[in-house]
Structure 1
């Protein structure tokens, strides 16, 4: 049942990305050039609502957050690969799935490349562990743990700030 609910949420998110134009080349290019802020508004809304929702579910015991360990080398390398992939293809992982569902061949190529990259990473992780993970691993670090408070007390103002950015600050600037 949990997988089915996750599937439905993923379908809803994909529909929102599609309807919001997040797979449109013109929208993506406009966003990267900071001329069209609609996708930034869309993502700020999604992150704001998602942050509040996840931490609210965790606060009342309906979710169990599992934070992965922070390892700077792996994060830096992964961010570099992600950035290059987005710059070359014009898609991030979510939008390439939606674009593939639309039948866009460039999105399908991006999705295939991402899956091959994930497979190669899974095969290489035992070899990379000593170089990328262990030397700069800080464990499962979170701001709530560092501050000694429940995550909801950070999620509420953070989510509210993102929603304010989306609906107040970017209201006139999103085309």
Structure 2
């Protein structure tokens, strides 16, 4: 029962993603073709809410569920990494019609072909972990 809250959060996430049509391949294609503002509105809302959440966490020194302080560490800034990573992520998103969250929602929605997409994403993540130290800094 310890993980029940995560299952409930996942169900709520899936419902929100489905009802907002953020898991729709057609909506994602509209976005990449600049034919609709719908997905940009969803992404913009997520960015604003995320920034607000980070501000609140920092402002009120909110702790995690175990009582530890939540720390936001600075990341290494590398323009090349951001460009290459963004291109890989964007191409995968455009080809599959889903980013990581909606991949799982689509499986739950009954699109079993997304299992192949999840396997590909996991394989890519694993491969990156193996090659990370050999990649340019």
Q: TM-score, normalised by structure 1?
A: 0.63
The equivalent residue for 2:55 is 55
| Structure 2 residue 101 is the aligned partner of structure 1 residue 101 | no
| Structure 2 residue 134 is the aligned partner of structure 1 residue 127 | yes
The equivalent residue for 1:25 is 25
Relative contact order: is structure 1 or structure 2 higher (C-alpha 8 Å, sep ≥ 6)? 1
Contact 1:21 1:27 in 2 (8 A): yes
Contact 1:96 1:111 in 2 (8 A): yes
Contact 1:99 1:108 in 2 (8 A): no
Cα distance between partner residues in 2 of 1:111 and 1:51: 28
Cα distance between partner residues in 2 of 1:107 and 1:45: 26
Question: Which structure has the highest helix share of the two?
Answer: 1
The equivalent residue for 1:14 is 14
Deviating 4+ runs (over 4 angstroms): 3-11
The equivalent residue for 1:168 is none
Cα distance between partner residues in 2 of 1:98 and 1:107: 9
Structure 1, gaps ≥5 residues long: 134-175
Q: TM-score, normalised by structure 2?
A: 0.78
Structure 2, gaps ≥5 residues long: 63-69
Give the superposition deviation at 1:109. Answer: 1.7
Give the superposition deviation at 1:68. Answer: 2.3
Cα distance between partner residues in 1 of 2:131 and 2:8: 32
Cα distance between partner residues in 2 of 1:39 and 1:47: 12
Cα distance between partner residues in 1 of 2:7 and 2:50: 16
The equivalent residue for 1:43 is 43
Give the superposition deviation at 1:118. Answer: 0.2
The equivalent residue for 1:68 is 75
- Evaluate the alpha carbon distance shift between residue 67 and residue 9 of structure 1 in structure 2; reply closer, same or farther with a 3 A threshold: farther
After TM superposition, the structure 1 stretch with the greater mean CA deviation from structure 2, 119-128 or 26-35, is 26-35
The equivalent residue for 2:96 is 89
Give the superposition deviation at 1:66. Answer: 2.3
